[in-house]
Amino acid sequence: MIVLSRKTIKGASSSFWMQSLGALVLFCVFHSISGYSERERAHDLMSRYPLIDGHNDLALQLRILHDNRLSQIDLHNVSKVATDIYRLQAGHVQAQMFAVYVMCGAQQKDAVRLTLEQIDVVRRMCTEYQDFELVTSAQELKNAEMRRKIACLISVEGGHSIDSSIPTLRMLYQLGVRSMALTHTCNTPWAESSSKLYNVFQRQNNSLTEFGKAVVDEMNRLGMIVDLSHTSWDTALAVLKHSKASVIFSHSSSYSICNHSRNVPDWLLHELKKNNGLIMVNLHSKFISCKDEANISRVADHFDHIKKVVGAESIGVGGDFEGAVSFPKGLEDVSKYPALIQELLQRKWTEDELANVLRRNFQRVFEDVEKVRDQLSSKRPSEVQIPLEEVQNPCRLVLRPPGSTGLRSDQNTSSGAEHGSPGLLILVPVLLLASLFVTE
């Protein structure tokens, strides 16, 4: 039997704790230097609260690169783009708002046809691949998460896609569209863009017309999310004061950090806060650093600033992958999202705040939009029509024969009645023939 003195035991115990403390310090220093701890925390957090991304233009790239021929590619692994199924899974992206975008040059031409074709390709890719699931409600979004599917939400990017027609808006909703940006880089006859690229539908002190308000009202009635990214600040303010439901900026950043017209100033963020809406931070380098190059730290500056102004409950993520040309170093594709969450963890964002940013804020807005829809369920579909003089569209057919009452001789109708439009020449005998079968 070995007997140790208290002094010996005390010395050994002290030595043990000193060694243990030293090992702990080295462990913490190692993990701090390597970033391993934060990286693991980021992945763990995102596995529990996977990301809802507010904006992705993959459908546009499918048209540009593959002419929408899905049979020619495998969406699990797609070259020349930043988005595919494997990378979405690696980035913990559980839900993706896929943008249906057609260029502003199609306005007053074939924008509606092109929009339908883009909706078709999104619906196809989200129903033909088992990893995806097309969702059209807040509950379906939750269900897809439980089934470990990548939820697809369809968002139309630009009000020119409805050709100033509320019935067309309703038909897009029937096809699964659950969000629409009121403008893109061009004004519509009823809303104003943040861009001056196209010199069309210029108005003074009328950034949201009466018809524009009717579009917002119908979106509220349908349960379609109003998206203010790409609108002018005046249009955004008008919508925030008019909409009965919460709205989003699906892919915009902070103007105070980068003074680009696509970003949102602090005074407008305060109005968004009153609306209980959401700004989903865009990762495009020019909107992050106001130049072609940026880094993750600068992206996090936008998150920090917006949190300081309106709180973490007003923030989401809208990457804008496939729609922009340059992204911050370390955030080059959708698989890199955990690096952003790691940076925010290092900046002492709490897990609860980040859970809100990752998905809970968007879920709340979607549910609010549906709550307003339910409150308006007794309201009949809008029959508001835009005045022809506001549309100024030479491709619109006026369904009246030449010389009928109410058609001014100087009116520039789309049918070209004064010039013997073939379409109208065919229409007139059809109408006359139809009248023979009308009974009193």
Residue numbers annotated as active site: 55, 57, 157, 184, 230, 251, 320
Dihedral of the CA atoms 47, 52, 55, 58 (nearest 10)? 50
d(CA 200, CA 159): 14
Cα distance between residue 263 and residue 22, in whole Å: 49
Which structure tokens are listed for 191? 């809303």
Q: Helix, strand, or coil here: 31?
A: helix
List Cα–Cα distances, 384 to 167, 213, 334, in angstroms.
Answer: 9, 10, 41
Between helix 361-375 and helix 138-146 the angle, nearest 10°, is 140
Nearest to 306 by CA among 272, 337, 333: 272
Burial 212-232 (b: 16+ CB within 10 A, else e): bbbbbbbbbbbbbbbbbbbbb
Task: Judge contact between 365 and 223, C-beta under 8 A.
Answer: no
How far apart are alpha carbons 281 and 262 in whole angstroms? Answer: 11
